[in-house]
Amino acid sequence: MQMIYSPEPIKIGENEKTIFLAGSIENGIAEDWQAALAEKLQNTNFVLLNPRRKEWDASWVQSIDNLPFVAQVNWELEALERANLVVMNFIPKTISSISLLEFGLYARTSKLIVCCPEGYWKKGNVDVVCQRYGVKQVGNLDELAHHVLLYFQPVA
């Protein structure tokens, strides 16, 4: 398993199995679920694309005129587009507005698995969208890891 963090260049081979780790990041609120999922997938050959920067500057103005901010957003968009699979984890007690935006972008694709446990403030909305568009939904990280493995199994 390999982890590529933002803003590292996304250097992946054509046949590599890539997974974008979308979902709650809100520092100080959301646990580092990306690291926990990576541990569960450590004995795989997956490439994980992780938007959670090792060093984040919370003072960045979220403006198209702020080049570091724009670079972060573009890194995430490129990683989403290049990934074979997008896993999304909504952590209770977070808002995760960007994750909801990304959820909307990818809900109609066949490359999304969502973890949305009880307690997430917009769980009802997430449930309805998943049901309507046939998005696989799970309730915890163990189930998420299991379904990631299933996603990459050859179809018999």
Q: What is the pLDDT of residues 11-59, one digit of tens each?
A: 999 899 999 999 999 877 899 999 999 999 999 999 999 999 988 788 8
The pLDDT of residue 55: 82
CATH of 2-151, one of 3.30.1540.20, 2.60.40.2140, 3.30.70.20, 3.40.50.450: 3.40.50.450
The domain locations on the chain are: 2-151
| pLDDT (average), residues 85-111 | 97
Specify which residues 48 forms β-bridges with: 3, 19
Question: How are strands ordered across the β-sheet holding 112-115?
Answer: 2-5, 47-50, 18-23, 85-89, 112-115, 136-138
Share of the chain above pLDDT 90, in %: 90
Q: What's the pLDDT at 154?
A: 84
The structure's pTM equals 0.95
Given phi > 0 = left and psi -120 to 50 = alpha, else beta, which region is 23?
A: left
Q: What are the distances in angstroms from CA 155 to CA 14, 15, 109, 152?
A: 20, 17, 18, 9
Q: What's residue 27's pLDDT?
A: 78
Q: Find the angle CA(138)-CA(93)-CA(83) to the nearest 5 degrees.
A: 45
Q: How far apart are the first and last CA of the chain?
A: 25
Residue 45: per-residue pLDDT? 96
Phi, psi of 37 (to 5 degrees): -70, -40
Look up residue 125 and give its two tokens. 């909305």
User: What is the model's pLDDT at position 68?
Assistant: 93
The predicted pLDDT at position 127 comes to 98
| Whole-number pLDDT of residue 153 | 92
